[in-house]
Structure 1
Amino acid sequence: MPRRVSEADAIEAMLARGARPVEPFPGTQLPWKCLCLTCNEVSSPRYNDVINKGTGVCSKTCRSRKIAAKLLRDGAEACAIMLEWGWDPLVDYPGAGKGWPSRCIHCGVIKSKKLAHVQKGRAGCTNCAGRDVSDELARKTMTEADLEPLVEYPGSLQPWLCRCMRCGHVGTPTYAKVRTRGHQCWSCRSEKIANALRLDEEEAIASMLEKALDPLVPYPGSTDLPWKARCMKCETVLDPGPTLHNIRGSQGGCAACAERGIDPTKPGYLYLVVHDGYQALKWGIANIDQRLTQHVSQGWKLVARWNFDLTRDAWAFERQIKAWVRGQGVPKALTADQMKYGGHTETAYLADIDLALVQAYIVSLTSRDPEPPQAT
């Protein structure tokens, strides 16, 4: 049976190890508040840990000093380690855990490296590995792929607003995808797909009739060109008519009969609205005024609208606005349940970002002033 430790013996043992108890002895297994006689700070070691396990009596300044002393390296030794791993230090050793400005001995780039990371092999040169991308290098890569950047380089995996130098379309490819796959353009890709889907006139007419559309003019020769037709359900004459690309997809035929969605090949607009109740703003794109009417019916008010000849251009700007807002750490404001007609991912609280700042950014991004707000 272990011997019971008296309070007097316990106090004597703690004093011998450099600490004076400042409260009655609670027992061998409980924290015991003591004053360190070295640094004069109070900590709470356990008697059993101090006596049987050899832990120190002070967990404050004295412990920190012991750890620092254990990690302390001679400056010459630290430099030798850095050089061994390919880094030439530019200043004296700053100490463990601190960034140490050093030059890569292979490519000459200067980086701030921690000695501990270098020793563990986790501080290789990202420039030598080809992972460092400057704005200048990224722009050169995009230009060589026939893409003209319209904003600063956002990062290799972020959408980058660019204009296609082949067709003029404004899109948001990523640097990483362009670097690995070359030219990236939604419009050029759609043209390739349209050519691949090109039909002869008999097949084309059959596709129109399948959607209850009676062609009124000969087949225009391309799946991407409008085809004037009459709806066989409501007798509406569609001029310009739908394209075969859309007919053979999921968009249906007659716009008067079908539920309307966004057609990227038709005129559209980018809009900015606010909601006083939610204290939030929202940006979005649409083909039809009904979209704004839906939002107004839910308490939103139109702030500004920018018209585009092609909705796909408006979509590219919408995507860039989202990347810019989220890039400033601003989260979405609303949930899908709060947005009856969708679009909650393009929202932000007015407390998080200024409305005038967002509108000014859109003006600078699109290089055009908004249309005067109209009643919806």
Structure 2
Amino acid sequence: MRDRGTDPQVSYPGADKPWPGICQTCKRETRSSYSSVITRGQGACFYCGQRKSSAKAAEKRRVRPEAAVTVIRAAGVEPLEDFPGTQVTWRCRCNTCGKEIDVWYSSVAYAGNGACYYCSGTMRLTDEEAHAEMLSLGLQPLVTYPGSNVAWRSRCQRCKKIVEPTLCNARKTVYKCRFCARVATDPETALEIMEDAGLTPLVPVPLSVKLPWPARHITCGKRVAPTLDKVTQRKRAPCRHCAKYGFQPNRPGYLYLLVNNALGAGKIGICNEGTNRISDHERYGWSLVARQLLPGHLAVEAEGRVLDRWALLDLPLGAGRHDMPQGGWTETVALVDRDLGHLREDYSWALEAVACAGSV
């Protein structure tokens, strides 16, 4: 028994009876019988036997470094250090978003989870961090950060169109903007651009974005012929100074200022006294900031002054046709371009300008 690693503590009790002893390796008590150790070849110490079995099982389960690298690369990340094993994180770089991440090999290989917590949306970001990342992707957020897997109202810094990608999708896709992802002469995209600018095309899409495209201005019904590239750049219909449909300049009218925080937009507008135009906007989430009753023709002039100022500042629209089924999107601006304080200044300035004309 001593040759098998245990020192008997009592006299020999018989071949098949437990024989108390002390393990020479771990110093724990053993109670193996003589026949189990000598005849059947079992280990004298139960604890040492368990440890050896666990070590053999662990060796059998051990992941070879070359196999681990193959698996982790297939998950879309590149290792930045040698494989450390399955019990600690592995420093890698995501091939999609380019960020350095700490990957649990078991989570990717066995649980089937994504390797990058930025791309999967599980990484919690502050509003400032999310805004900075969105800007780095070429998109300017128009509202507060809603979460990485929630549509985030933003403006493409390239084409100035309003889009609503999730932060996760923006990280993964080559084209962050659905408009930039398609050529401007794609009929469906071109029609959407024209409609967002307040124009209804009268003929099919021209062969070039620089050719005049006959259309009707939705607001006043007049026929115009802008080029698609100019409409895309300006983001406003070219017939801004025409009389408002349904507005009667010979009757008193309100010049009003509205904001919609959900859309991140402000709006200037006019309506005749006694109409429900402002309440129509309020039903769609707009809030009244200010309104002033004026002679109708002065209300038109004041609104035109505000829109002229926005045009000189080259401010794109803050809302699109689909955002305002009640109409009026061509007189909007994004709050990130013109905050509420500046909108109030524009509003007051326009009122003072028409007052100087001696008519208020």
TM-score by length of 1: 0.31
Q: Which has the higher contact order (CA 8 A, sep 6+)?
A: 2
User: Larger radius of gyration, structure 1 or 2?
Assistant: 2
TM-score by length of 2: 0.32
